[in-house]
């Protein structure tokens, strides 16, 4: 899977989770950029990403990720 493909899949997941088709994520997107991305939504998002890509994040990564770019790095490493 290329990086573009990962981001396309991430777009779908984010749109689905936040009920908003206008959402597009990129390398620098953070929780501050998306309305409703609070701590509960964060873990729901993590679980949705794990389900979609069939991989697992480490617990330390869940809380330490700085932006969607870092999330994509971890996904690319594990699929």
Binding site residues, another protein, CB under 8 A: 16-17, 38-40, 43-44, 46-47, 50-51, 57-60, 62-64
Give the integer Cα–Cα distance in Å for 69 and 15: 17
Q: Using the minimum distance from each CB to another protein, give the nearer residue, 61 or 73.
A: 61
Whichever of 22 and 59 has its CB closer to another protein, that residue is: 59
Phi/psi of residue 54, each to 5°?
A: 60, 40
Residue 58 Cβ vs another protein, minimum distance, rounded to whole Å: 7
In the complex, what is the shortest distance from the CB of residue 4 to another protein, in angstroms, rounded to a whole number? 26
- Cβ proximity to another protein: between 3 and 51 the closer is 51
Determine the Cα–Cα distance for residues 63 and 2; give it in Å rounded to an integer: 25
Provide the phi-psi class of 6: left if phi over 0, else alpha when psi is between -120 and 50, else beta.
Answer: alpha
């Amino acid at each position: 899977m290329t990086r573009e493909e990962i981001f396309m899949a991430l777009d779908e997941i984010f749109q689905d989770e936040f009920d908003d088709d206008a959402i597009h994520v990129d390398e620098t997107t953070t929780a501050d950029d998306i309305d409703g991305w609070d701590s509960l939504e964060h873990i729901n998002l993590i679980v949705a990403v794990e389900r979609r890509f069939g991989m697992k994040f480490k617990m330390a990564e869940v809380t330490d990720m700085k932006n969607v770019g870092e999330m994509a790095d971890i996904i690319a490493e594990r699929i």
